[in-house]
Structure formats: structure tokens, C-alpha cells
Structure 1
Amino acid sequence: MKDKRYKNITYWLLAFSLALLPLLSQAQEERPVDRYLVQGAENNPRLKALFTDYLAALEQVPQAGALPDPQVSFAYFLQPVETRVGAQRATFSASQMFPWFGTLEAQERVAAQRAKVRLQAFEEAKLELYRDIRVTYNDLYYLQAATRITEENLEILTSFKELAQVYFETGQAGLSAVLQVEMEEEELRSRLEYLADSREPLVTRFEQLLNTDLQEPITFPDSLWEEELLLEKEAIYNTLLAQNPRLEQLRQEAQVYENQVEVARKMGLPAFTLGASYTSIAGRGGVEMPDNGQDAVLFPQVGIRVPIYRKKYRAMQKEAVLEKEAVELRRENLENQLLTELEEEYRDLLDARRKVVLYKRLTSLAEESFALLQEEFSTGRNSFEEVLRMERQLLNYRLELAQARTALNNRVYNINYLMGSRYETEDR
């Protein structure tokens, strides 16, 4: 009954944690990606499989803490055995083995700890799923933004082409101006085709993460928000070491083997058997005597299992100790890998921040320069080639800004994933 309540509570905790996500988003500021996070958490088959593994591990807890099955035997004498009070016809016996005190509780702790390891695997997969959904959404946003920016520049080039043809016909510009615009148009059309081809694989990946076929277009903001970390670098390191699910999973696994040492030690201690027997006796005919035909009941019957082969139990303990040591070494190795990965992500985060600031400034300056060059060209004070060059530069700056914003957010999401956190971002 206790285990059933425990499993029901676990179901409710999962439902609550998944329901909490949209509430947290609304408490800050709902973003288009938030609803996809909820959808992915509800539908993703890998997440469901890992949680089912955890529930299956919980079912091992009552098995580990249960007594061995009792033994019941029955014997019928084909040739009755004569006794003083009559012939034995049949005998029944039942016995129950009881391990050494605390053995069952120790086995139960091992099973419960193994369930915690499965739970950490589920938690890690959940954070990875949220990270992947956000990153894929950002990549899709960049494709949409790049497509929009390129189409806007293509419209500008179309007007330039008409203007270049007018200037060529009036002798104010050469044929090269018209050809340059056509070359630029071809390049932008090729880029648009590549962006269109790149979108389909990303949409497919996004749908696989959500485990659904999207019936409506993916919604994007006009401009991608810029995520920021609340923690400083040193605090991020400490949080990673304390909260990373993969590290926690190895810590829980080490605890499994520590408990297994205690199980092996107790298995090397005696076990006791308590039983009873009943023998049916047929009375002797023609004889009058006390207890004639009286059935025999023997209770209690007591036995003891003596574990005299100590080598086996010492090996079991040593095995558990070595397994724990191996897990701790894997955890140490993983810590080193994660810290190295964090250093790289933090470096890329700083670079993305600088690029966002840089391309915001360069885009603003290029827009002003482009407007001035157009005005100067209309008055004959500048060449058409210079206007076209600035238009191309403005296009590149706008694309680089969109790319930098996408990279900035993706770096933040990767760092949050390494820390084992979903919401370590600025208040929205």
C-alpha cells in the first residue's frame, strides 16, 4: 500500500512539474517557444520511455524488501510407517526463512536508490529536450529572419535595377551598373533557395522533438529576444557541479554500490527458518491405549543457514566497493569534460554578446550611410556602384545581427543545460 501511494505521488509530481512550465512562462512573459516546450514534454516518446523505466524500477522496491516465499511440502506413505500409536499415513510441513536482521531493509534501499538513478536519467533527458526545442526554434527563427531580410533587399535591388536602366538609357550610367544589379539579384535568389532548402530539415527535427505533425505555421517574434545569465562565471561552475543531472546520476549510482556493500555483508550472516509439521496417523484396531490414532503436530521447527563459504561473500563486498570506485572515477572524468565544455560555451557566449553589440552599431551606421549615399547618388555626387556596395554591406550586417542573437540565446540555453537549470535567465 505504501509503495502504491508512493507511485501515485510520483505521477502527480510529474504532472505538476510539466504543468508548472507554462505558469512560470506566464509569470515572466509568455514567449512563442513556451507552448512548444509544454507540447514536447507531453508528447516526446524518449521522455515517456525514461519515466516508464523509472516507474518500473519503483516496482522493484517491494520485491527487494519481501521475504522469500514460504515452503510447503506434502508426503503420502505408500507403505505406512508403524508407530506405537498407529500407522503414519501422510505428513504436511511448512517453513519460512528469515534473513538476518536488516537484510531486507538494505536490499530495499538498493532498489530505491536504483530507481533514483533512473529518475536522474529522466531529468537529464527532460532538460536536454527543452534545450533542443529552444535551440531548434532559434535556428528556425534565423532562417525566417534571413529570408525576410534577403527578400527585402531583393525588392530594393529591383528598384535599383529600374533606376539603373533609366540612367543607362539617358547616358548617366554605363551598362555595367545594370549588370551589377542583375548579378546581385541572382546571388540573392540563390541564397533564398538555400534558405528554403535548409528549413525543411529543421522543421522535421522540430516536429520529431515535439512528436507531432504541426498543423499550423510556427510563430516567431518580429525580433528575437536576448537571453542573459543571472549568475557569474564562478557561480555557474558551482551550480554545474552541484546540479548537473548526469553528475547527480553518477552520485546516485555510487550510493547504490555503497548500499550494496551493506547487503553483501548481511547476506554473509546466518538466516533462520521457522516451520511446523503435521502428521496424520491411523489408529490401531483392536487395541485400547492412550493417544491411539492421535495425529502428531510439531511446532516450532527451527533451522539456521550457516554461510561457511566466506570467500563468496567477501568477493561480493569487494565487487560492490570496486564498482563504486569506478563510478566515482567516471564522475570525476565527467566533471572535467563538463567544465571544459562550459569554458567553451562561456567563451562563445562572450563572443556572441560582443557581436550583438557590434552589429547593432554597424547596422545603424550602415542604414545612415545607405540613406546618405542614395541622396548623393540622386544628385549626381556619388556612383551607383558605391550605393550598391553599401546595400550589400547593410544586408550582411543585418544577417550577422540575426545570427549573433541566435548564437547568444543558444549559448545561454547550453549553459543552462550544463547547470541543470531551465529558468536561470533574466526576469522577462
Structure 2
Amino acid sequence: KLDAEEQRACFEAFAVRADYLAERLRVIAAVRTGWYRLYVIDQQIETAKANQELLQSLIDVANAQIATGTATQGDVLLGTLELSKLEERLLTYRKLRVAVQAEVNRLVARDADLPIAVPAELEIALPDLSAREIYETTLRSQPEIQAAQLRTQASRWGIEVAHLSRRPELTVSANYFFTDNNRPPSNIFDVGQDPWSLGAQVSIPLWRDKYDALEDEATWKHLASTDNEAELRDRYDALITELLAEALRADETAKLYKNTILPQARQTLRADQESYSRGAVEFDRVIRDYRNLLTLELGYHSAVGELAVSLAQLSRVAGQDVKLTPVPALPGLPQE
């Protein structure tokens, strides 16, 4: 019985170790996610600044058109209003960056105000592995699944412990006490003689229902652990499929923005700018083009960030880095 209890305790200790490794992976994924969010926020700030310059040039054109009588003061006021909205957006981005930076610093145990550098551009490719291959990697490397497997093994030994509790137990004890001779003489015992004792105890189980209940409880715990392990496998399988689909969507969206939508939006804005300078279109149409371009540029950077976050979560789920194109300054998984 003691050997069975030892085996159960060992498996439970290993499960706690696996819990620690799983939590460590979650922290690493949170740091990566925060780092990618900082990248997106920085890109949003740079995009907003570039659009400030664009908007100011539109306002300058409107002022020139007023001088020639082909525009009204309302055009300048509309452009100024958009400029104020853009400044408000910049303030929001900067505030959000401070909050995200503080959270990332907290995760890595640094001062909240320490600066965090991010690259000017991320070049990220999709993983070479399929969902099934990533799932097989997860079964081998994911600490949370390993913890569930270890607890299942521990509960199996728990059944053995409950079964062995039905057997009589014999306990043998031996005691020895060292004493000095710094005592007054006695007729009962020899002063300075070290006492010792031997003992034996037998425990005989009598109540069958009690031990039936112990064994039933251990069996139910084992069944619950087995079901939890199976549920965890299914959950990770579904999560891998979901994250990989999200990564594919974000990758296709980013490519669509970069190769098709953004060039068309910029071309439309340039054409309407030229038409406005000739008095062929209204200023509000140019402003609408500017708004569309701003929204699309922000959408592109958000798609790149979503792709990076999905891949970071895939690495956490797999329990190790999946094969990706190297990313500048990517915080890697520390080695034990």
C-alpha cells in the first residue's frame, strides 16, 4: 500500500510541475500578444500622423480654392473638423499604448514605464504544418494535456490504494533514546542507561461497506480524470482548427488590403484630389475618400496584428514554437 501511495504522490507531483509549465506558456503567449498589440498601435499612430499631413494638404488646397472662388469656407471647416477628430484618435492610441506597455512590463516583471521597442514592419508567414500535424505536436508537448494524463495515472494508483486498504496492516516500531548520566542514583533503573523499546500493531479492516465506498470513490475519480483528459484533447483539437482558420483569414485579409484594396483607395483619393483642384468634385467627396483610406489602412495593420496573435496562440497551444518565418525581436520560448 505504501508503494502505491508513493506512486500516486509522484504522479501528482509531476502533474503540478506540468501545471507550472502550462502557466509559463500562457504568460509567454500573453507577452507575445501584448508585443504584437504594441506593433499594431504604433502602426495606427504612424498612419494617423501621415493622414494628418494628407488632411492638412487638403485644407491648404481648399484655402487656395477659396481665393479663386471655386470653394467655400465650409470646405475648410470640414477639413479642420476632420483634423480635430484625427487628433482625438491619436490621443486614444497613445493612451492605449501606455496601458498595453505597462501590462507587458508587468508580465515580465519590469517597471511599468520602461519603453518597449517594436519593429517598423512585421513579415509573418503561415505555418508549414497542417492542423492535424499541429494537433499531434500538441499531444506530445502541451503541458496541460500532460498534466491531465499524469492525474489520470495518479487516480489509477488511487484505485490500487483503496483496494489495498482492505488488507490487514502490520506496523512494527523500534525506539531508542540517548540519555546522559547527569542524574541522581535510582533503585529503579540504571542511571545513564539508554532506554529502548520494540512494538507491533495489527490493523484489521472490519467494515466492508466503508472500504467498498473508498474503492467506489477512487474509481469515480479515475473515470472523471479520464473524461477530463478526453475533453481536453477535443478542446485543443477544436482550438487548433479555430486558430489556424483565423490565421488564414487574417493572412488573406492582409494580402487583399495590401495588394488590391489599398492601392485602389489611394488611386481614388488622388483622382478626386486632382478633380477637386479643377473644381470638378465637391470637397466632401474628397473627405469621404480620405476617411475610406484611413479606415482601410487601419484595417490592414489590424489584420497583420490578428495574424501574429493567432500564430502566437498556436505556439502556446502546440506547447512549442510552430515553424514560422522569423519575426524581428520575437520573444522566444525560454529553455528550462
TM-score (norm 1): 0.64
Cα deviation 1:296-355 (Å, max 9, x = unaligned): xx9987664433444433332222111010122223333343334334333322221121
Alignment length (residue pairs): 309
Q: CA separation in 2, counterparts of 1:113 and 1:303?
A: 30
Q: Which residue of 1 aligns with 2:211?
A: 313
3-state SS of 1:165 partner: helix
After the TM superposition, which residues 29-44 of structure 1 pair with which residues of structure 2 at under 5 Å, given as runs? none
Q: CA separation in 2, counterparts of 1:328 and 1:302?
A: 40
2:50 maps to 1:148:
no
Q: CA separation in 2, counterparts of 1:277 and 1:131?
A: 55
The amino acid that maps onto 1:151 is K
Aligned counterpart for 2:155 among listed residues 229, 241, 257: 257
Structure whose CA Rg is larger = 1
Q: CA separation in 2, counterparts of 1:206 and 1:303?
A: 60
Q: CA separation in 1, counterparts of 2:121 and 2:174?
A: 81
Q: CA separation in 2, counterparts of 1:397 and 1:242?
A: 41
Structure-2 change in CA distance of 1:277 and 1:116 (3 Å): closer
2:170 maps to 1:269:
no
Q: Which residue of 1 aligns with 2:293?
A: 394
CA contact (8 A) 1:356 1:404 kept: yes
Cα deviation 1:10-29 (Å, max 9, x = unaligned): xxxxxxxxxxxxxxxxxxxx
Taking only the aligned residue pairs, the percentage that are identical comes to 24
Structure-2 change in CA distance of 1:190 and 1:107 (3 Å): same
Q: CA separation in 2, counterparts of 1:276 and 1:335?
A: 50
Q: CA separation in 2, counterparts of 1:303 and 1:248?
A: 41
Cα deviation 1:53-90 (Å, max 9, x = unaligned): xxxxxxxxxxxxxxxxxxxxxxxxxxxxxxxxxxxxxx
Gaps of 5+ in 1: 1-102, 284-297
The structure with more strand, counted as a fraction of residues: 1
3-state SS of 2:117 partner: coil
CA RMSD of aligned residues (A): 3.1
The amino acid that maps onto 2:126 is E
3-state SS of 1:218 partner: coil
Per the TM alignment, residue 107 of structure 1 is displaced from its structure 2 partner at its CA by 1.8
Q: Which residue of 2 aligns with 1:182?
A: 80
Q: CA separation in 2, counterparts of 1:276 and 1:217?
A: 65
Q: Which residue of 2 aligns with 1:414?
A: 313
Per the TM alignment, residue 408 of structure 1 is displaced from its structure 2 partner at its CA by 0.6
Structure-2 change in CA distance of 1:302 and 1:240 (3 Å): closer
Q: Which moves more between the two structures, 388-397 or 316-325?
A: 388-397
Q: CA separation in 1, counterparts of 2:324 and 2:125?
A: 7
Gaps of 5+ in 2: 177-186, 189-195, 327-336
Structure-2 change in CA distance of 1:300 and 1:169 (3 Å): closer
CA contact (8 A) 1:227 1:409 kept: no
Per the TM alignment, residue 186 of structure 1 is displaced from its structure 2 partner at its CA by 2.2
Larger relative contact order (CA 8 Å, sep ≥ 6)? 2
TM-score (norm 2): 0.80
The amino acid that maps onto 2:309 is N
Cα deviation 1:403-428 (Å, max 9, x = unaligned): 0000011111222222222x113142
Q: Which residue of 1 aligns with 2:334?
A: none
The amino acid that maps onto 1:413 is A
Per the TM alignment, residue 398 of structure 1 is displaced from its structure 2 partner at its CA by 1.5
Cα deviation 1:132-165 (Å, max 9, x = unaligned): 1111111122112111110111122112212211
